[in-house]
Structure 1
Amino acid sequence: MTKNWANIPFSPGKWPFFYGWMILIWGVVGFVMSIPGQTIGVSVFTDSLIDVLRINRDQLSLAYMFGTIGSSFMLPWAGKLYDRIGVRPVVIVAGLGLGLVLVFFSQVDDALAPFIRKEWEIGVILLMVFAFLLLRFFGQGVLTIASRNMMVQWFDKRRGFAIGFANVAISLSFSSSPVLLYVMIENFKWSGAWLVMAGIVGIIFPLFAFVFFRNRPEDSGLIPDGAVLKAKKDKRNLFPFVKDFEQMEAMKQYAFWIFALMLAMQGLFITGFTFNVLSIFEEAGLTEADAITIFQPAAVIAVFVTLISSNISDYVPLKYLLYVKGIGSCVAIVGIVLLGQTSYAYYLIVTGMGVFTGLYSVINTLVWPRYFGRKHLGAISGQAMMMVVFGSALGPLLFSGSLSQFGTYAVACWVCFGIYLFLTLGSIWANNPQIGLARGLKTPSGELKPSN
């Protein structure tokens, strides 16, 4: 992005205060626009799709899985495109694309009417695979990568503190979205709700992004954290930066895989749970209202976890947060297994979910620039996001398959528990590679040598 393009239609350098604080707000907007493509945004329409398409839950989960897997393989390319052309072109195209996909979903019963019969069942599933691929690619994939990376670019030393506020807003938005979507469905029916979202995401948001989104502070003569562009040494930086890792270099690091796999497991678990949440609570003898309202108290806990972890993340190794995240996930899983058997199960789910959802955005936002630098941030975070989305593709089918094959969701839960436990123990060695490099570059006086 050229300097002139960065200053159209206005220059962030002329904003009355550091524009990075506004970038946090715009980044939250970008995340909110991705909700229709997130599992939490799709889940409230699941039963409607099953009814109008006349397919069963396993078949819809299968279409969702393959569509999500297909979208995941496109995300590394999207990340590299972000590095090359910047945030505004990427989110504008993603918004337009997501809007068009939502129009299709709003008319899916009419669009697929000729195929909605038993002999064309496979055709319906294949068409839904393609529709879910685009929905997940533009929504969960591109919009979240671009919005998150844009916010990260504008902060360095104060990154954890600053991003914490954005993460709180994102958590609250996501947790309250099922209730809002249900209200929209009650007022506009399921097709009308999708059509309203299509207008917001596909028309209003691209115009908004063109005006306010910006890629990097350096493009407008600023530097991260808010200062005039100039070299400045800050001895308070507890996490030294030595080099920008390229994508393949980052993928050779043990820490990359531990962090990416832990985040991918959340994608798998939370999508499996959310996609089947009504059925999970029904199996436990609880109501639909119980299922939907569980997200709100979890969000309250997530807010506190996000604020606390964001503030301390500027002073502690990120792998410590990974330990807590793994433990919180295991607690939530035990709660789901015990749901309907004891009143404590509800609180275990709420507490565990609050912890791991509150930490997810903090870790996913901070680890890639801190461990591997900002230059290839799109490519590296895109590769990690591919794994997250791939994991989220497996979740719904794992949970629905557990119910259909074993008559309970407990089998899927214990599989997730075992993987989480393994990754949590593996997090002990997930150290920051920049610190290792810095130690090798220090002079006897303790100053860093210039790096190549």
Structure 2
Amino acid sequence: MSPSTNDKPAIGDSSSGVLRKPDSWIKQDWRIILFGFVLMYCSSPGQTYFIALFGGEIRADLNLSHGEFGAVYSAATLCSAFLLLWSGRILDRALLNCFVVGVVAGLATASFVMSFATGALSLFLAIFLLRHFGQGLMGMTSVTTMMRYVPAHKAKASALSHMGYSAAEATIPSVIVACLLFTVWQDIWRWLALGLILVLPLLLSYLLQSHKAAKKRAADGHAKQSSNADHVVENAYLEGPQWSRAQVVKDPFFYAILPGLTCQSLLYTGYMFHQVHLVESKGWSLAVWAGLYLVFSLTTLSMSFVLGALVDRFGALRVIPWINVPMMFGLLVLASSSSILTAVVFMVCMALSTAGQASSGGPFYSERYGNKNLGAIKSLGSFYMVLMTAVSPIILGYFIDQSVSMNVLALGGVVYALIVSVVAGFACKAALLSPKPKPNVPV
């Protein structure tokens, strides 16, 4: 890689000279931020915690063991990850409003297919569609939109939009548990499909009414000189080298940091997928456990904006090495006790690492590789994340079937998180000490 010196102030840094008042960007871009929030909230049917809430009923009706259910889930997730490598690139070329309507239609179809799952094959198809359109494309669209349309405050905007996911975790689990007391799980998925297709396209179309103006502001290519200071507003949309996806796959730094950046997704997915077994093995109440999602969400909500501000101020590279530390502490506590207070500490620590990942993940891709091909590049990161979430349920399911305790699995998670965090820390330190590289192949 050929280095290049870049003395421009970092976007979001106090020296960058952004002229608007601290809260004016929210007033100006609130529709775009709310658009990302709604996408994150409505990605829930494709998220592990949501599907796992039906795990007991699905396994009972389809006569599947923990390992078999985990194998179907992992295989479907893995296939959705490979498809994401192709479908994620469409976001760079398609009209945003058309793309997002297609994603909503896909998620609604997936929910409908899930309601008619009667065996392993139909369950595989349903989970494949749910994971691809929900966890994959809907979440990726939210993050990419924040990076492109609110570039000067990308970390804070990403944190605000990610609060939709936290809000969903705070409200949905208790509702699902209550609904399962009165109706069968298949009916819940049918209602969900109907709600998605009738409500979401209209709401998202309304929120996107101002997205062209937001894009124009972000892509304004000329610097503006302040009348009362020597500060310059830089071109945030296409500032610095603009990498292609082919160039990113040749960057060693990408592979060094990615395991640490996605560690929380891997471990959180494994535990949430097998949450019913975790609750039973610890002797906790499932209703109480569902209520702890509120604690998880409130912690994530309160910390996401704080960490987003830190990322905007100091950069993602300085934050990423530390995002897994709270989760490691939570796993140690989980392995040490079966008290219900252990569950509270575990969820709070997981929430802190979730907030860290949400606040630094998207900005890392934007800072390092630029915004021009961000959809294609983000799909690489999303592919790896989905791949990790495909691996963890089947691995944990296998060990559970072999009678390995959740305490031992928690300690194994600590060891893995420590290793990938140390590697990511050295990689980030090396990147901060060296000039920002240009891609080694012309775009």
Q: TM-score, normalised by structure 2?
A: 0.83
**1:51-450 matches, cutoff 5 A:** 51-108=60-117, 112=118, 124-213=119-208, 217=212, 221-223=216-218, 230-232=222-224, 235=232, 241-340=239-338, 345-431=342-428, 436-437=434-435
Q: 1:216 to 1:422 in 2, by over 3 A?
A: farther
Q: 1:105 to 1:17 in 2, by over 3 A?
A: closer
Deviations 1:53-99 (A, max 9, x none): 12222211110000000000111212211111132222211111111
Partner in structure 2 of residue 34 of structure 1: 43
User: Which letter maps to 2:195?
Assistant: I
Alpha-carbon distance in 2 for matches of 1:325, 1:213 = 32
Q: 1:428 to 1:289 in 2, by over 3 A?
A: same
**Structure 1 residue 246 displacement after superposition:** 1.0
- SS of the aligned residue for 1:85 comes to coil
User: Which letter maps to 2:409?
Assistant: A
Q: 1:156 to 1:435 in 2, by over 3 A?
A: farther
**Structure 1 residue 181 displacement after superposition:** 2.2
Partner in structure 2 of residue 446 of structure 1: none
Q: 1:80 to 1:146 in 2, by over 3 A?
A: same
Partner in structure 1 of residue 19 of structure 2: none
**Structure 1 residue 18 displacement after superposition:** 6.2
5+ residue gaps, structure 2, are 1-24, 226-230
Task: State whether residues 99 and 203 of structure 1, in contact with CA within 8 Å, keep that contact through their aligned partners in structure 2.
Answer: no
Task: State whether residues 301 and 355 of structure 1, in contact with CA within 8 Å, keep that contact through their aligned partners in structure 2.
Answer: yes
Alpha-carbon distance in 2 for matches of 1:158, 1:19 = 12
Task: State whether residues 37 and 140 of structure 1, in contact with CA within 8 Å, keep that contact through their aligned partners in structure 2.
Answer: yes
User: Which letter maps to 2:51?
Assistant: V
Partner in structure 2 of residue 48 of structure 1: 57
**Structure 1 residue 194 displacement after superposition:** 0.9
Q: 1:433 to 1:211 in 2, by over 3 A?
A: farther
Alpha-carbon distance in 2 for matches of 1:22, 1:68 = 31
Deviations 1:123-142 (A, max 9, x none): x3233222211111111111
Task: State whether residues 160 and 366 of structure 1, in contact with CA within 8 Å, keep that contact through their aligned partners in structure 2.
Answer: yes
Count of paired positions: 409
- SS of the aligned residue for 1:158 comes to helix
Alpha-carbon distance in 2 for matches of 1:256, 1:75 = 18
Q: 1:52 to 1:326 in 2, by over 3 A?
A: same
**Structure 1 residue 347 displacement after superposition:** 4.3
**1:7-18 matches, cutoff 5 A:** none
**Structure 1 residue 403 displacement after superposition:** 1.6
**Structure 1 residue 415 displacement after superposition:** 2.8
Alpha-carbon distance in 2 for matches of 1:215, 1:149 = 16
Alpha-carbon distance in 2 for matches of 1:273, 1:140 = 17
Alpha-carbon distance in 2 for matches of 1:205, 1:31 = 12
Alpha-carbon distance in 1 for matches of 2:210, 2:221 = 16
| Higher mean C-alpha displacement, 130-139 vs 159-168 | 159-168
Alpha-carbon distance in 1 for matches of 2:393, 2:173 = 17
User: Which letter maps to 2:391?
Assistant: L
**Structure 1 residue 216 displacement after superposition:** 6.0
Alpha-carbon distance in 2 for matches of 1:435, 1:172 = 38
Q: TM-score, normalised by structure 1?
A: 0.82
Alpha-carbon distance in 2 for matches of 1:138, 1:46 = 20
Q: 1:51 to 1:155 in 2, by over 3 A?
A: same
CA RMSD across the alignment: 3.0
- SS of the aligned residue for 1:244 comes to coil
Alpha-carbon distance in 2 for matches of 1:272, 1:404 = 14
**Structure 1 residue 185 displacement after superposition:** 3.1
Partner in structure 2 of residue 7 of structure 1: none
**Structure 1 residue 199 displacement after superposition:** 1.1
User: Which letter maps to 1:377?
Assistant: L
Q: 1:242 to 1:229 in 2, by over 3 A?
A: closer
Task: State whether residues 114 and 123 of structure 2, in contact with CA within 8 Å, keep that contact through their aligned partners in structure 1.
Answer: no
Task: State whether residues 23 and 213 of structure 1, in contact with CA within 8 Å, keep that contact through their aligned partners in structure 2.
Answer: yes
Alpha-carbon distance in 2 for matches of 1:98, 1:314 = 32
5+ residue gaps, structure 1, are 1-15, 113-123, 441-450
Alpha-carbon distance in 1 for matches of 2:213, 2:223 = 12
Deviations 1:179-219 (A, max 9, x none): 12223333543222111110122332123334433796468
